[in-house]
Structure 1
Amino acid sequence: MNSSRHLTRLAAALAGVAVVSLSLSAQARELSVSTVLSDAFPWGQAAEKWAELVAERSDGELTLRVYPNSQLVNGDQTREFSAMRSGLIDAAVGSTINWSPQVPELNLFSLPFFMADLDAVDAVTGGAAGEMVFDAIESRGVVPLAWGENGFRQLSNSSGPIDEPADLDGLKIRVVGSPLFQDTFTALGANPTQMSWADAKPALTTGAVDGQENPLSVFDVARIDQVGQEYLTLWNYMNDPLVFAVNQQVWDSLSEEERTLLRDAAEEAGAWEIEMTREEEPERLAAIKERGVTVTELDETQHQAFVAATESVHDEWMPRIGSEIVEAARADMQGE
């Protein structure tokens, strides 16, 4: 009889442990995070840093699983925002360029030669225009949490040095799937060719395209010089901030504590990645030069020639972006 009671109590205790275990596992939650580049690049490192901070601060109750190389959208980086908005992806560290087809206001950052330097970028992302851009993202079912940085995009090619618009005449330049990029390079006399990054390196290798544009971090880590890109022009023609964001329904399902944790971790990861990316640029440029790449830096007259050649792009795109946001960005940059 005593033995029977002992077994009954043991069974009850084990059942209680099982209930507690199930309860704990039910509380633990994993969110999928999409990113275009792996952690070999600052972009991917930003996502991994976010995941690391969230796991630490939630004691593993909330975790982020990073899926790099656009694998959740079969390599089509321009579908990332739509997939997150629809709930196929829980969260992302994404590019303003890649999300701009669904959020036209993000084209603000792709206006050619609009933001002259990092101070201008910081003034916009940290100012009224940045808030307006975040509002635009949120109005489309995605909650933006923090900024990161992919950096100013520079131009490379396999034909020769480029220091004036005429040097681009007829060159096939790989661009992302954004109509604004098509219009910018068409205005400069080039032949823009849209393709995903997965297809870009093979196209550069075979000579199907003559050039491409990307931040120094991508040029350096991806060793773009090894696929015939022997000439690099530093022209800072546009900047590509990254955005840490979460699907609206996922966000609504989180507790207030979890939301605060997720946002704080995103802001910290973003600030960390921005600082790292900027600190590494001089070293990256030196490494690129050491590998034999011819680097062209524009003087003010040369720079203004490119500005003048793309004025028509501003006229066409300002209404699409929203003149209010563009004017707010100008005021931010002027410190008004």
Structure 2
Amino acid sequence: MTLRFSRLTMLLAGSALLCTTLSAQARELSVSTVLSDAFPWGQAAEKWAELVEERSGGELTLRVYPNAQLVSGDQTREFSAMRSGLIDLAVGSTINWSPQVPELNLFSLPFFMRDYAAVDSVTGGEAGKQVFAAIEEGGVVPLAWGENGFRQLSNSKGPIDEPSDLEGLKIRVVGSPLFQDTFEALGANPTQMSWADAKPALTTGAVDGQENPLSVFDVARIDQVGQTNLTLWNYMNDPLVFAANQRVWGSLSAEDQDLLRQAAVDAGEWEIAMTREEEGERRAAITERGVDIVELTEAQHMAFVQATQSVYDTWIDKIGESLVKTARSDMAAN
């Protein structure tokens, strides 16, 4: 009886030790993202978490914190918070991170990348490698690309198909000096404010318009706050970046690093494809809700390009002339 009890005790102790060891091996990392999984951006983060848990057998898990929760809603602080270690991982916007990494303004140069082929040429080319190197020099490890999409222009006043239509319009823009310069060059009155403040301002007419990707316009139902005119002008693109804090990245085994990076690449490719495939459906849904959509002709597009040419003179040096030239070469080669 005593022998059986001793064996049972040893068995239970061994099981407890095994559970403790497995628990010690399991690790949870935080992931910051600005939008929830109602949007492709948030879905990219959730897909990353899903792939990591599946491929690691649950030994490595990612907990997604949407709506910039980890930085109290201030999305412009996300990169700094990740660099300092307050955030382990993020799926972040090139716009939001550009104050800390000036090279990311490459994607915000007005009318620089006309279509998705141009974007893919840059992110997948030599310029993309240089941008990733700049992010890493800034204290964060970039892993893969995602996509928030081309930003389109909406307003409550009327159709916009030439620069003069923007004269005097109050347009809500994100907190980036490059956006300020772009809309001032077009004769508009750009107003920087958070998205939390933007919807009430659009509702009351305190601002006349805003710019966002088609997915955001659709999911957030921006047409419900008086935005009944939408111009598809692809004036800039906002790639997303899957990234990690350097200390956290360095604490992972080589195997876990490979797993985390490949899961990010796969999640990014999945999200990019999904975002682009859904654009036709979103456009149809927006039209059905009574929004008038303008798509620029070649001549109209060139009028906007010429009107914003002065912005290049201001920003090429800040971004890096060599990087801009490399991006042009990447696009020309493809």
Describe how 1:172-183 pairs up with structure 2 within 5 A: 172-183=170-181
Q: Deviations over 1:264-305 (max 9, x none)?
A: 111111111111111111111111111110111111221111
In 2, Cα distance between the equivalents of 1:11 and 1:207?
Answer: 73
Q: Secondary structure at the match of 2:294?
A: strand
Between 72-81 and 194-203, the greater mean CA deviation after superposition: 194-203
In 1, Cα distance between the equivalents of 2:60 and 2:202?
Answer: 41
- Deviation, 1:9, is 4.1
The equivalent of 1:315 in structure 2 is 313
Choose the corresponding residue for 2:223, options 205, 222, 225: 225
Q: Deviations over 1:215-254 (max 9, x none)?
A: 1111011100001101001111000111111111110000
The equivalent of 1:287 in structure 2 is 285
Kindly provide the amino acid, as one letter, of the partner of residue 24 in structure 1. L
- Deviation, 1:7, is 4.0
- Deviation, 1:45, is 0.8
Q: What fraction of aligned residue pairs are identical, expressed as a percent?
A: 78
Describe how 1:162-311 pairs up with structure 2 within 5 A: 162-311=160-309
Do structure 1's residue 114 and structure 2's residue 108 form an aligned pair? Answer: no
- Deviation, 1:263, is 0.7
The equivalent of 2:139 in structure 1 is 141
The equivalent of 2:22 in structure 1 is 24
* Alpha carbons 1:75, 1:198 under 8 Å: kept: no
Between 229-238 and 9-18, the greater mean CA deviation after superposition: 9-18
The equivalent of 2:82 in structure 1 is 84
Q: Secondary structure at the match of 1:334?
A: helix
TM-score w.r.t. the length of structure 2 is 0.98
CA RMSD of aligned residues (A): 1.2
In 2, Cα distance between the equivalents of 1:275 and 1:223?
Answer: 22
- Deviation, 1:10, is 3.4
The equivalent of 2:54 in structure 1 is 56
In 2, Cα distance between the equivalents of 1:179 and 1:54?
Answer: 37
Q: Secondary structure at the match of 1:88?
A: coil
Describe how 1:70-81 pairs up with structure 2 within 5 A: 70-81=68-79
* Alpha carbons 1:75, 1:196 under 8 Å: kept: no
* Alpha carbons 1:96, 1:241 under 8 Å: kept: yes
- Deviation, 1:193, is 1.1
Q: Secondary structure at the match of 1:123?
A: helix
Q: Secondary structure at the match of 1:79?
A: helix
- Deviation, 1:6, is 4.3
In 2, Cα distance between the equivalents of 1:70 and 1:194?
Answer: 18
Choose the corresponding residue for 2:91, options 82, 87, 93: 93
* Alpha carbons 1:145, 1:263 under 8 Å: kept: yes
TM-score w.r.t. the length of structure 1 is 0.97
In 2, Cα distance between the equivalents of 1:208 and 1:72?
Answer: 30
Between 238-247 and 16-25, the greater mean CA deviation after superposition: 16-25
- Deviation, 1:101, is 0.7
